[in-house]
Structure 1
Amino acid sequence: MSLRASAVELSALRTEEIERMYALYAASYCDTAREQFGKDLDDKTHCIVLRGPDDVIQGFSTLKHYTTRWNGSAIRVIFSGDTIVDPAHWGSQQLAFAWIRHAGEIWREAPDLPLFWFLIVKGHRTYRYLRAFARDYAPRAEVQTDDDARALMDHLATERYGHAYDCETGLLAFDEPQGRLVPALAEIPAAHRTLPEVDYFLKRNPRYTRGDELVCLCELKASNLRPLARRLFEAG
């Protein structure tokens, strides 16, 4: 099936498209509620939408662009919200390609202001995108997160989630589980367990099945991206 992906402002999504997005979300996560999904969506600014040839949404990734202050200077942040792809289309990379192109467009709007990708991860598939995109990111296996990166991660996570974030573990843990992966998606194939980044993710977030999320950070700039991601980032 031919798929295409593009970035849109949240305000451009039609009601029926949002309902389709929620249907995909509810098929992937436990603890779902349409009202909460809507509130989370209202907090975002953009969405990368994956569509089939019939224009039906087959996947999406929500984002929030914002500017904040850090160490006395302005920085820009892309916060990743929910990312869902219908399992029938897991082989497609169009959503990921559109995401990194969109990030490049944001960078070019103000190239002198640092741009960071801030994401919280409850599944190994999402965590693996960090290595696929970037040379340096945190946290990662066999590399000690430097003090500046750790402090910025702590700041962004505490600013957004307050007491739910634990600076010692780098994890978000909610009193009531939120958005646990359904068992079929939480299951990790044996072949994936042999991957170093998956092994590291499981050690850092051993309770991912109950909805705990690992806070991650990556600076988005051409010199920090792997060759394919860099080409997409620079091409916009």
Structure 2
Amino acid sequence: MADLEGYIERVDCLDKTTRADMFKLYEHYYGGTSEELFLRDLADKQYAVILRDPNHSLQGFSSIKVWEESFRGDPVRIMYSGDTIVHQDHWGQQALAFTWIHFSGALKSEAPEVPLYWLLLVKGHRTYRYLRAFYRVFYPAYNRSTPEASKALMDQLATNKFGEFYNSETGVLHYPSSHGHLRTDWAQIPEKDRRRPDVRFFLERNPGYVHGDELICLTELSHKNQNPLAARLFASGYDGGLEAAISHSSK
């Protein structure tokens, strides 16, 4: 299995071929979508993580939106993940996660004094497990309750962004018709994974994931909230700064 290389690209600089390849890969794994819906969602983001193999073929991506708002009178910055997928031939590689974490450190360097949070919508157990792999504290979690302030921030962000489609009681985003759900072949969860406490928790909190329901998750992106490997990547991005993080080109 060839190693993948991760790049940070500005969405408005992505060429037509890259956008078409992104949708083709996404459509292979997700139903309930269309190229129009996909491109509209992509246009709402500022950045994209692009994964390429040694032949320069696109093998994965994630889109990122960043904004600032006020929470209880204080500014907070939000890093929001959009559509994300990696070709199954490369599952197990961490190029996407490592590139993303490095970039989150670069974003933090823009405004060190302002809390930076990752708002993540989780459609599948693999994505949910990333939180435990790289962060010390995140919500919701099977082994800790969600503090009132964190729940209030999650509710504010999700309500502002998704309105009536977000249920604050369940913490789940639900659309009457799917805006993208894992196809049946990819939605199945192996029994060995079902026994994991974090996977069981995800299934309990988001039983409708197979229809495209998304669990709202939140973690603070700070130096002290990273697990050791993530902390090194985050610090590297922080020290390098934002422009250095997006100076690479996948073209």
State if a TM-score over 0.5 links the two structures: yes
Deviation at 1:206, TM superposition (A): 0.9
Normalized against structure 2, the TM-score is what?
A: 0.93
Deviation at 1:32, TM superposition (A): 1.7
Amino acid aligned to 1:78: M
**In structure 2, C-alpha distance between the alignment counterparts of 1:184 and 1:83, rounded to whole Å:** 17
Identical-pair percentage: 44
Q: What residue in structure 2 maps to residue 131 of structure 1?
A: 132
Normalized against structure 1, the TM-score is what?
A: 0.99
Q: What residue in structure 2 maps to residue 39 of structure 1?
A: 40
Q: What residue in structure 1 maps to residue 73 of structure 2?
A: 72
Deviation at 1:184, TM superposition (A): 1.1
Deviation at 1:142, TM superposition (A): 2.6
Name the count of aligned residue pairs: 236
Structure 1 unaligned spans of 5+: none
SS in 2 for 1:140: coil
Amino acid aligned to 2:164: H
Deviation at 1:2, TM superposition (A): 2.6
1:54-93 equivalences in 2 (<5 Å): 54-93=55-94
**In structure 2, C-alpha distance between the alignment counterparts of 1:101 and 1:61, rounded to whole Å:** 14
Amino acid aligned to 1:11: D
Amino acid aligned to 2:99: A
Amino acid aligned to 1:136: V
Q: What residue in structure 2 maps to residue 233 of structure 1?
A: 234
Q: What residue in structure 2 maps to residue 216 of structure 1?
A: 217
Q: Deviations over 1:167-219 (max 9, x none)?
A: 10000110112211001110001111111110100010011101111000000
Amino acid aligned to 1:27: H
Q: What residue in structure 1 maps to residue 8 of structure 2?
A: 7
Q: What residue in structure 1 maps to residue 100 of structure 2?
A: 99
**In structure 2, C-alpha distance between the alignment counterparts of 1:34 and 1:217, rounded to whole Å:** 28
Amino acid aligned to 1:48: V
**In structure 2, C-alpha distance between the alignment counterparts of 1:223 and 1:56, rounded to whole Å:** 36
**In structure 2, C-alpha distance between the alignment counterparts of 1:166 and 1:46, rounded to whole Å:** 28
Q: Deviations over 1:59-103 (max 9, x none)?
A: 001010111111112111000101100111112111110000000
Structure 2 unaligned spans of 5+: 238-251
**In structure 2, C-alpha distance between the alignment counterparts of 1:9 and 1:16, rounded to whole Å:** 15
SS in 2 for 1:118: strand
Amino acid aligned to 1:47: A
Q: Deviations over 1:3-50 (max 9, x none)?
A: 100111101211000000000000010112111111000101100010
Runs of 4 or more consecutive aligned structure 1 residues displaced over 2 Å after TM superposition: none
Amino acid aligned to 1:148: A
SS in 2 for 1:214: strand
Q: What residue in structure 1 maps to residue 172 of structure 2?
A: 171
**In structure 2, C-alpha distance between the alignment counterparts of 1:109 and 1:177, rounded to whole Å:** 36
More RCO (CA 8 Å, sep 6+): 2
Amino acid aligned to 1:121: V
Moved more, 149-158 or 82-91: 82-91
Moved more, 190-199 or 153-162: 190-199
**In structure 1, C-alpha distance between the alignment counterparts of 2:144 and 2:170, rounded to whole Å:** 16
SS in 2 for 1:143: coil
